[in-house]
Amino acid sequence: MNKIKKLLIIGFVWPEPNSSAAGGRMMQLISIFKENGFEITFASPALDSDFMVDLTAFGVEKKAIELNNSSFDVFIKELNPDVVLFDRFMIEEQFGWRVSENCPKAIRILDTEDLHSLRTARQKAFRENRTFGPFDLFSEEVAKREIASILRCDLSLIISQFEMKILNGIFKIDSRLLFYLPFLVDEMKEEDLLDLPLFEDRENFVFIGNFLHEPNWNTVQYLKEAIWPLIRKQFPEAILKVYGAYPSQKALQLHQSRDGFLIMGRAADAAEIVKKAKVVLAPIRFGAGLKGKLLEAMQCGTPSVTSEIGAEAMHADLPWNGCITNDMEFFAKQAIALYQDENLWKQSQKNGVTIINHCYQKRAFSSALVDIISALLVDSENHRLHNFMGSLLQHHTLKSTKYMSKWIEAKNKN
């Protein structure tokens, strides 16, 4: 790309890489576009937070925007971006029609983060005490909205191979509209493990997860009520430290020093905490996407015990860096084994390095993404001709959403 291209990212929230995996992923995307010469503007209708990243320090212009306000039309016309990246389908619903109307030639990309409809359907099945099946998605209203958003965009970034299979197989989405993009990290060597704290220098079990994310909060409750008592029964001196941004009062009330179950709140530096821990526990019972906490554990040389949902699409069937099980008793047994058996612990570390290098190489995925965006910039018209359903949805959405938004804007003025 010789000519400098403009990228507008419209964020659901301002990025908080120290609070959530979603914030970390957004910074990875910004890094890819910066490295390939894009001028980036990050706009969001969200309020500023105390923990948001300083975008200007990364050479990114920050712009506050409003929902249901025609001031956005003036802003985007002046900016005239070549590419617009929507952070989650809800943002595409709000601003996609305005982008289409004011900058029709701009390439529209959706970063799904994870399939919200998959997470919602699994959560519903869990609460109703039944087995989830992919066709459950057909009854979810959020699935209809999410799939419509994917179809309206020129390209959607999908973080999980399992979700790629659902979109291709269940919803029959054209592969040309999808791009598999997992978390992206640099290559790691086994020798790098020597620079991390040793087995004998580490202590405690740890869990890290943003408390605003329902699967994380459910996991903490599950640990407290079911799994931690099993571990403490066999290993009375064990301590579990639970970290996470935005803990509720309910979460804080789970803190019990006498049981070794400690609610620590926000982690100032999650990686430093995980490096000092001996084992990560993550018995996740529902959710979607990839689990940033488990990839971070691998990077920190910290083995983990997780569920099938936790490890889903994360390891390409390579040996896990610890253990994968849905059985509570076995979960507790393996957690203790990893904590006490140095040889098992070290082999699990090495398994993590293998997974990182096989599944998450930034260099390979980022160059492929830039290539496909370059091709779209050259020939978006032909690409869109092959996406009639997207054009149809764009047409009707623009009509219906446009007038609803204008009605809300007029109502707000009155």
What is the DSSP annotation of 249-269? HHHHTT-BGGGTEEEEES-SS
Backbone phi, psi, residue 29, to 5°: -65, -45
pLDDT value of position 71: 95
In which residue ranges of the chain is CATH 3.40.50.2000 found? Answer: 6-184+362-413, 190-359
Closest CA to 25 of 377, 358, 360, 298: 360
Site of tokens 């389908």: 89
Fold category of 6-184+362-413 in CATH:
Rossmann fold (3.40.50)
**Token representation of residue 304:** 């983990």
- Low-confidence residues of the chain: pLDDT under 50: 1
- pLDDT tens digits for range 209-226: 999 999 999 999 999 999
Backbone phi, psi, residue 362, to 5°: -60, -45
Nearest 5°: the CA angle 300, 365, 280 is 20
Please tell me the pTM assigned to this model. 0.93
**Token representation of residue 337:** 């084994």
**Token representation of residue 340:** 């006490």
Closest CA to 240 of 257, 222, 225, 252: 257
pLDDT value of position 364: 86
- What is the distance between the alpha carbons of residues 228 and 325, in angstroms, rounded to a whole number? 15
Question: Do 275 and 209 contact (CB within 8 A), yes or no?
Answer: no
- pLDDT tens digits for range 257-306: 999 999 999 998 999 999 999 999 999 999 999 999 999 999 999 999 99
Element holding 68 (H helix, E strand): none
Fold category of 190-359 in CATH:
Rossmann fold (3.40.50)
